Structure 1
């Protein structure tokens, strides 16, 4: 089957029922999305499909319609996205396991809402769990990223 991942067309020889996560990791060598739970409850596997956050651990690769963006696809021309830069500036990551999914959900939020409220952030990030409890830093990073995006525009 043919997929567009991070702006590149690729052919993947996979059973259509294989979860997108495993097609990305095992067949395409894209390791940013992580396996956390396998039931779409933790968000570590989050990717964007046509800009919407999707849990790749439960989406069959045969059901993918649209362009897939992983955390590897957020940086363009060597420059970090505003969200990635804010994550570094706010020193969000502790263990880092959930961060790719967190960043993908935050990216989708900021693509939809330029200046999100705390409630907007809570709603958008509700499906992403962080065992280290960096939620206050995540919120601060999202607000910083919103300011960075406005400054870059």
Structure 2
């Protein structure tokens, strides 16, 4: 059994203040444009609320979510961790994995142009850790997954395959 959790990207107070300022400016500009174009105030307020919610969701996904990778015998499991909640995203047998390589490999550009049933990016773009892509089969359909596990887990996956 192998288990690891990606680190959460730390957000500094300055970065948080920057995001709040940018978000505030975007919302004020949106309201200003809505008033200039004489759009109904309730419609503008509703759209402003939607934009604020989307911005908050993006920040939460980027800075609060981490991923747990588990390799238990021949099962590969990925869980999304947000706060204290864990949600299983991927649960596949290692035999279903067709290819797992670095996105820096020559095959990546060719492979990502293929048609896939599902595409998921589960990476945090952490520094000093490579991003890998995994092509796996589920219900007779190919799926593409971008992940950022350790090189040790990739080695274990390749050895089991």
Same topology, TM > 0.5: no
Question: Which structure is richer in relative contact order (CA contacts within 8 A, separation 6 or more)?
Answer: 1
TM-score using structure 2 length: 0.22
User: Structure 1 length as normaliser, TM-score?
Assistant: 0.23
Higher CA-based Rg? 2
